[in-house]
Amino acid sequence: MRQQTLLLPTLREAPAEAEAMSHQLMIRGGYIRQVAAGIYTYLPLGLRVLKKLERIVRHEMDRAGGQELLMPAMQPAELWQQSGRYSEYGPELIRFKDRHDREFALGPTHEEVVTTLIANEINSYRKLPLTLYQIQTKFRDERRPRFGLLRGREFLMKDAYSFDMDWEGLDRTYWRMHEAYSRIFTECGLHYKAVVADAGTIGGDGGTHEFMALAEIGEDTIVSCSLCSYAANLEKAEGRAVEGQEINSVDRSASPSTSKLEKFHTPDIKTIEQLVKALVEPASQFIKTLLFMTAEGSPVVVLVRGDHEVNEIKVKNHLGCGELQLADAETTLRITGTPAGFVGPIGLPAGIPILVDQQVSVLSGAVAGANEQDYHLRHVQPGIDFSLERTGDFRNVTEGEPCSCCEGSLVFNRGIEVGHIFKLGTKYSEKLGAKFLDSNGRNQTMIMGCYGIGISRLLSAVVEQHHSEAGLLWPQSIAPYQVHIIPVSSKSEEQMKLAEAIYEQLLQQRIEVLLDDRNERIGVKLKDSDFIGCPVRIVIGKEAGNEFVEYKERNDAEPRLISVEEAIKLVS
Ligand code: ATP
Ligand code: MG
Ligand code: MG
Ligand code: MG
């Protein structure tokens, strides 16, 4: 792209109303412009980044088995009346009438539309499970739209909805999504934590996690343990305390799901013996999710189905291969993880999920805060570090307070909710009639999940974490252009010729490149370039005649004088 004609209006001053750094930088860098409160135009550069985020999200959704569709923003009120949310949702739902006086809403989310679609189109177990997603504009009349794209009234969301035959199926889908989310946020270069969260208005009777980008501007407070994997939205930790809900008084008669687990009493478990004891507790007619780590920090989630009496667990040979034995009266189940095989920066064991048999499955990605390479290897204490998605003991939690499940202490962080996954259960499928015939010809209600990522919010969250005083510092995966070519003087024929030649050559190689061909002073061009924040900058100056350029990668303190040939090789 040539900058001369590019709509890239950079500003020297931040607009007064922009409080958040990401908001300021995106305005100043010429990425977005405000149209009304919480409503923005994405300028060409902003749109490029947004599209890159979309691509990453799409890739992972497809990989997790999702199918993309596109649903309308304009939704008939009847659907919302049927689900009961027309009255529940409140003023955030934008309502209006068409010329025939029929009521409509602008979709803040799409449970109603998607569930109705599936109710009409699917009626047999043969077509299940099914996960659908879309990347679409959402509308919410937020009470306080602010911080630019972080809290908009019109914003871009990826929303996915899953339909399973039973709770076990939902559980698998849920954790697959959890894993996909971890990959997405890691790929975007985001520092994040997956935390236990509350269901809010989406409701449903299942489990839910929020993915929080760590940032001071964040409106949520996350409480996490300095040692183990416990992490929750403080709202939740405290919210429960306010409700005064006794964990032992929870109704256990509902359908089994890992989410119910949150409400079980969980003792502090520090030894294998205690872990065994926890497993054989009376509540074992329900699925139990046990999230623990071996001494070297290999995270493993074991789902033990309730009809399976477990009376012994041995952690065996975990140095070698992370082997774990679950034994019951008849069988010994051996689960082999690969603690040595950590892959990528997410820190997930390789080769998972492993479905060991009907009774036990090992999943990964359930480890909050596992987004740094070897995080657990460095932070875990020797011994069994057990934690359950639990609630209830955090009454008026304060920072520094001891964690109630290990030796760690509680740490507070501010977070931006960039993603949210829910087990909805039958809340919508019941009301909107999403039923199917199972293999025995019996009529059953589909078990649903929903999974959101605020793509436009994610864009801002990345900027909150990746900038300097001079401007943006895009992670390579989402940079609008990979290379910025800047001739020092547009009047120098020699420099312009070389700049054009490099530009053409990089384009030929399908590298995304921006050429500053404007007739501006070099100071202005470099300042703008800092703002835009491409990963590589090639400045063409005095040495153009010798085919030498100044090459600077984002993290380099100073540019290096290298040959054109080498520069092209470096970016290819
Ligand atoms: P919040 O707590 O910030 O209001 P939410 O819990 O209401 O968000 P969800 O209903 O869980 O949001 O929607 C899924 C995702 O959509 C959120 O995790 C977030 O990333 C994004 N999102 C929600 N509201 C907005 C908004 N007003 N502007 C931009 N993104 C949003
Ligand atoms: Mg909200
Ligand atoms: Mg929320
Ligand atoms: Mg949410």
Look-up: residue for tokens 């479905």? 355
Can you give the pLDDT at residue 136?
A: 97
Based on C-alpha coordinates, what's the Rg of the chain?
26
User: pTM for the whole thing?
Assistant: 0.75
390 lines ligand 1 (CB under 6 A): no
For 64, 196, 229, 340, 391, the CA distances from 368, given in Å and listed in that order, are 20, 9, 5, 19, 15
Ligand 4 centroid to 420 CA: how many Å?
Answer: 5
Residue spans of the chain under pLDDT 50: 199-205, 238-395
Q: How far is the CA of 327 from the centre of ligand 2 (A)?
A: 45
Transcribe 118-137 into DSSP letters: HHHH--BGGG-SEEEEEEEE
* pLDDT of res. 235: 66
What pLDDT is stored for residue 15 in this prediction? 85
ipTM given for this complex: 0.99
Q: Is residue 415 lining ligand 1, measured as CB closer than 6 Å?
A: no
CB 265 within 8 A of CB 288: no
Distance of alpha carbon 415 from alpha carbon 212, whole angstroms = 5
Surface-to-core class of residue 469, CB atoms within 10 Å of its CB (0-12 exposed, 13-18 middle, 19+ buried): exposed
50: tokens are 């947004």
Mutate to test the pocket of ligand 1, among 420, 456, 458, 462 (most ligand atoms within 8 A of CB): 420
H/E run at residue 540:
strand 536-540
Identify any residues that bridge with 563 across adjacent strands, giving them in sequence order.
548
Cα torsion 151, 152, 153, 157: sign: negative
pLDDT at 228: 76
Q: Is 487 helix (H, G, I), strand (E, B) or coil?
A: strand
- Helices within 290-368 (DSSP H only): none
Does 90 contact ligand 1 (Cβ within 6 A)?
no
- Nearest C-alpha to atom 4 of ligand 1 is from which residue? 151
Evaluate: CB of 157 within 6 angstroms of ligand 1.
yes
Q: Which two tokens stand for residue 498?
A: 């070389």
Q: Tell me the β-bridge partners of 496.
A: none
- Ligand 1: does its nearest atom lie under 6 Å from the Cβ of 129? no
Distance 482 CA to ligand 4 centre (A): 33
Q: How far apart are CA 322 and CA 362, in angstroms?
A: 12
User: Pick from 543, 435, 528: which is nearest to 30 by CA?
Assistant: 528
Q: What is the Å distance from ligand 2's center to 69 Cα? A: 24
- Nearest Cα to Cα of residue 449 among 114, 124, 93: 114
CB distance 107 to ligand 1 below 6 Å: no
Alpha-carbon distance values, 539 to 435, 483, 547, 552 (Å): 63, 11, 12, 8
Those residues whose beta carbon sits under 5 angstroms from the ion ligand 3 are: 417
Question: What is the predicted pLDDT for the residue at 372?
Answer: 36
Q: Say if ligand 1 is within 6 A of residue 142 CB.
A: yes
Q: How many CB atoms lie within 10 A of CB 82?
A: 17
Q: 75 pairs with which residues across the strands?
A: 105
Distance 199 CA to ligand 3 centre (A): 8
